[in-house]
Structure formats: structure tokens, C-alpha cells
Structure 1
């Protein structure tokens, strides 16, 4: 079984002008970052997809300096701290034998959030590392490195490779583990007002590639062609994946013997907190008048008059429960209004534009507070009466029954 390869996200941190940009250029062997003596050249976290010798494809997240004390600097620092939600490992740069409270606080955050890190004393061509009484977390060596003396980066990169969690390199399958050579997978893709002109949305493209990578056959249809296709070809797909917005139509068109799921449910298993979704989705039936529902829309997109997250899901959940409910929508990674305890349910989108770590961390406050969480596709399937069928390809029967207890 083959799958989609993930790229480890490595955060590069440090005070202003410790040489973060020069360091990135040195270890990649490319001019991928702007180098300047002017403080604050890097203003916001910037993702750079690169190939590191001996490690492979990674995403380096170049961050702003943490020690800017201006009002704007504090905003930049807050954005830099949010990087901790998406990275798999970190490199903290220091220079001039200086370790301040800023670095100490950041190392404490790394530890509390289980982020492995390297501490690198940059500009060592000017001054080698000497500890002047700084106290570091246990087993935290300080590595000397010079970005300007053409020093071989491999000793440092080999240590970086050893601390990156194996899961960050894991090749994951969207549906590839469910199919074998020659299996036919049908995808039902509505072309409506929400469909981007001239192209498919990312989860649809990813599914097609994953199917092809696993030597199966991908068939893509609009919903009005499905019944004609099945009748004329007599082909019985091994699996059908539909857009969540037409779950009930797909359920009626596809024979019950054929497994059926949705693109958003597929993403829920691929990068979401799937077990938490299985536990939380049936809680929709327990909502009461006045409850607040938080909808987390992790990408920012142009909204339509019948938007799936902002219009359809609130309408479907309200109609299903018959309750007077209040919905809050948060786009991108904006802060959640109020406190998480204000909400009775959190509904997360598929998360096609964010990393798994980012998505799981986004749901952690709700999980810690005992608030049920679900996913767009799983919530839609539940209120449209096709939940068990939609999740069945990804779960054991006894797991599904446990979720209802």
C-alpha cells in the first residue's frame, strides 16, 4: 500500500538578528531567505518547502524575532508562537553566548507541547559557545554553527533528523489502504455554485492521486450521471466517495452493498481526530434550545449564498434537532470568541488546507473541556441519516456501536 508523503514542518526561532535567514540559506544551500542587518526583516512566519541533505523534503517555518518589544512586534511574536501548533520539531538559534528569559520561556513551551528541538549557537565564527551560567532543560546540548564560514551542515542536520518524530515522515493513505490493484473507485463531484471554476477542490484532487498511486481506477462523475453510468456499464465500484452536501442523494443512488463515504469523512480519518469525531457526532441528538455551536472553517474562501459551513450545516442541524440553536463561525485560524466552555458542540471542517498537527491542536481546548467535536462531513451524514454507512469503510462494526452507547 502506498500513500501521500507528508513533509515534516521545522520551526526556526530566535531573537532578531541571530542569523535565522543566513542559517536557513546555509543549511539548504540556497538563497531562500532575505538576509539583512536591519532588525525585523522577517515580519511574519513564512513557510519554505526545501530539500534538506539526508532528511528529504521538509517545510522550514521562518519566524519573526521574539524580542521585538514594540506593539507591532508583540503581534508578530504572537504569530510566531502560533507556529508551535503546526511544527514537528524546532531549531532555536542563539548568538553571542546570550541566553535570555525569551529563549528560556520558548524552551519551556517546546517541552510542555512535546516539541523536540535543537539549540544552536549561531555565528560561532565570531565566538564559540561558552556557558555563562544558563540553565537548560535536561539533555539539551548546544551546537556551535557558523552560517558564513561554509561549515558542513550535515553534523547538525543528522542531529535534526534524529529528533524529528517518525510520524512526521509517515506516508499516509486517504483511501489507498481500502483498495487493491484494479479496484474501481467512483467519485461524485457536484458542479454547483460552490465549485471553483475550471478546477476541482483539493480533497478531490488528492483522492484521485491517492487512488492512482495505489494502482486502482478512479472514475469522476457529476451526480446526475451516476445512475446512467451504473446502468450502462454494469460496473460495481469497490468504493464510492461523494461530496458531503449530497449524501442523501448518493445514498439513494448507490446500491447498499457498495461502500459509500464522503470526501470530508475521508479527511476526518486522514488528518482529523477521528476517534473523537466518532464519539462526538451522535451528541448532535442531545443538543438543547439555546446551545451554541462552534463551526471551525480552517480555510478562508469566498462564501456563496448557500455556503456549506455558514448556511447549510446550521440549517440542517437546526432542522434535525428541532432546537433553537446559535452558531458561531471562525474562519482560518482566528481566535475563538469567548471561551470554549460557551459551546455545546464543535464542528471542524475537513482541514484540507492545514496540517494534521494544526487541526488536532485546534480541537484540543474542546477535548480537554469535554465538549463533543465532529467534522463537517460526519455531521452532515448524521443529520441526513447516512452516518453509519458513511463511516463504515473506516471503522470496525463494534467501534461504531460503541460510539452510540
Structure 2
């Protein structure tokens, strides 16, 4: 079965402790620039590698946490932000373990980020400190024989949930059953390709042994005159039309709702979506995009379509803010009366769950693009029924 979640492993530590050399040793490539002077890495650097027994992972090299240069504060801030994006933190120190390393460890514990320490350049100086509450492994780029031990430590501490097999429709569709995937080709569709949720759902159905039928919304009515599929999965933006075409005897949901289970907190989304009915004039709504894309001002779903839909449904004068990619959640997030998360196809479940936890602590109701659109179209109960019936 295809794996949809690629775990992120971050390399953190002070300047000049060999973080870049470590990532180069892990990848077997010159991914990060290495130099004798401190501060060589100025921005996070990513590289995808394969780890036996885990699969593909993204390794992230970060600037030193003790950078006091003119741009040091910004670099350290970027490093701290990276901690919220990783499934595992490798904390590197060399000649001495000091307050910076201790603070890093305490930050990981506070943020519930799995971690272990690497005592780097161990060929130059033996480990002379005991670190309570943490595993430590010796390493040196000059000793390739130490690499297997480092990889074993990664597998030990990397949460299995971050790379285990993903479930999209395995718990609902069986081999031989037919699923219709409705894929509108309009101004918002990417040029010459399908979006990831569509591709990954197709692959999931193939793995199950089900029959995946892909068609445009304009072809759906005619197709259903002669076929009765087990399920119809549509782009959420086509709900308004598709709900009038698919009979109630056929299960209906959307790609975004499938991914709200895969990448988000589905139970929190189910509860939070009802907050739409409590919105009042002047309330602020936070839109959470989890990718970087060129914004089409007329057709963008998060910045234009969902705000317009919510204003029309509620009849209220609502205000909207957008947090794109993995940018930080606003410090005053408690001001939001609703937060609407995208499907999250371009990021990991860990990255989405960490930002959602911040909002949950602030008591902000949560929803998802597909669930919000379904609610405003009056079919929320219908498109979530197949999952609620199974207690999923």
C-alpha cells in the first residue's frame, strides 16, 4: 500500500557542532554546506532519504540555536518553528553539553516532540556528561561504522504512527466494489495534473482492489443512470451540484473530508463545524492553508470561496484571516470564533495536529474545508454518515 505520510526528522543544536556534517552522513550526499566557521547554515535545508524499515523521510538541517549575529534572532526563530514541524528531533552537541542543549531538551519535552541526543565528533572527545531522561548516541563523520547505530536510534524514537500505513477508504470499501470519483476540471483545477488527494485516493482504491471510476461533474448524472456505485467521492466545491444528482441510497463524501480523517482531528472537526451557526457580525474566522500556491483571487477556495459561502450561509458580516503553509498560528488566536483547516495533502499529520492543538488550547472551534462546505450546503450529516456509522 502507498504511504501518504513522510515523517520529518529535524537536526538541531548549537553552531559548529556538526549538524550539517551529520545530515550529509545520513543522506550520503553533500546536502548542507560544511565549513569550519560557525553560522554556515542560515536557513532550514530539507532532503528526502530512505531509511530501511521506515521508508522515505524528510531530514531537516537547521541554523544554530546560539546564533547571536545580526540575523541570528530570525534564524533561531525559524529553528524554533521547525521544532513544531518534525516528528523526531535529533539534538546534536559536541565538545560540551550546556544550557542551550538543556533548553532544547526541555522545549522538546514541553512540545511533546520525540528526541534523542547525538554526541558528535566523538573521535575528538569522549562523552563526559550524563544526560538524565534522554538517550545519547556517539557519532563521528570520520567513523562510518557508527552510522548503523544512529539509524537504529532514529527507528527507536520515530513514532510509528508517523510512517505507518495510511487509511483513506480501507475501512469502508472492499475489493470489487465501485467508487466514483468526481473531479471537476475548471479554472481552479491545476494544469495538466490531478491534485494529491485525488491521486492518493485512486491509489488507495487500487490497493484495496476496488474499481475507481473518474469522471467530471458534468458526466455524473448520465453515469448514475446505468450504474450504482458503493460510494461517490467529489471535490467539495462541487457539493452544490453533486448532492442533487447522487440519490440518497448511494453514500456521498468528498476528498477533503477523507483527508480530514487522514491528516486532522476528525472528532474535533465534527464538533467544531456546528460553531458556524453561532457566528455573529464582526466575528473573525481563521483559514488554515497548509501549502504554498499561486493565489487565484477569483477562484481560491480558502481565501474567496469559503469566506463568501460562510457570509452567505450565516448572513453575518464576518472577518477572515489566512495562515498559509506552516506559518505560526497568531499569538492572540483566542479571538477566532472558528478555524477552518484545508485537507493538508502537502504536509504531515503531525504538522497539522500541532497547529490544531494550539487552537484547541485557545478553545477555538475547528472545521475543515470539506466539512464547512458540506455544512453550508445542508448535507453535513449525509457526507459524514459513513464514518459516523462505523464509529470512526
Taking structure 2 as the reference length, the TM-score comes to: 0.94
What's the offset of the Cα at 1:84? 1.6
- CA–CA distance in 1 between the matches of 2:54 and 2:337? 43
Is residue 43–residue 64 contact of structure 1 (8 Å, CA) maintained in 2? yes
In the alignment, which residue of structure 1 is the partner of 2:127?
129
What's the offset of the Cα at 1:306? 2.7
Alignment of 1:52-201 (within 5 A): 52-53=51-52, 55-96=54-95, 98-131=96-129, 136-138=131-133, 140-201=134-195
Compared CA separation, residues 337 and 54, structure 1 to 2 (3 A): closer
What's the offset of the Cα at 1:288? 1.4
- CA–CA distance in 2 between the matches of 1:146 and 1:184? 54
- CA–CA distance in 2 between the matches of 1:347 and 1:5? 22
Is residue 54–residue 158 contact of structure 1 (8 Å, CA) maintained in 2? no
- CA–CA distance in 1 between the matches of 2:38 and 2:218? 58
Is residue 175–residue 211 contact of structure 1 (8 Å, CA) maintained in 2? yes
What's the offset of the Cα at 1:166? 2.0
What's the offset of the Cα at 1:27? 3.4
CA RMSD of aligned residues (A): 1.9
- CA–CA distance in 2 between the matches of 1:254 and 1:148? 64
- CA–CA distance in 2 between the matches of 1:337 and 1:26? 37
In the alignment, which residue of structure 2 is the partner of 1:240?
232
Task: Answer yes or no: is 1:396 the counterpart of 2:392.
Answer: no
The DSSP-based 3-state class of the residue aligned with 1:34 is: coil
The DSSP-based 3-state class of the residue aligned with 2:128 is: coil
Runs of at least 5 residues in structure 1 that lack an aligned partner in the other structure: 400-405
In the alignment, which residue of structure 2 is the partner of 1:249?
241
Is residue 3–residue 173 contact of structure 1 (8 Å, CA) maintained in 2? no
In the alignment, which residue of structure 2 is the partner of 1:403?
none
What's the offset of the Cα at 1:32? 3.6
- CA–CA distance in 2 between the matches of 1:223 and 1:287? 32
In the alignment, which residue of structure 1 is the partner of 2:223?
229
Compared CA separation, residues 121 and 364, structure 1 to 2 (3 A): same
- CA–CA distance in 2 between the matches of 1:51 and 1:263? 28
Tell me which stretches of 4 or more aligned residues in structure 1 moved more than 6 Å: none
Is residue 284–residue 319 contact of structure 2 (8 Å, CA) maintained in 1? yes
Compared CA separation, residues 17 and 326, structure 1 to 2 (3 A): same
What's the offset of the Cα at 1:397? 7.5
In the alignment, which residue of structure 2 is the partner of 1:44?
43
What's the offset of the Cα at 1:336? 4.1
In the alignment, which residue of structure 1 is the partner of 2:250?
258
What's the offset of the Cα at 1:155? 2.2
Is residue 5–residue 170 contact of structure 1 (8 Å, CA) maintained in 2? no
> Please, which moves more after superposition, 261-270 or 301-310?
301-310
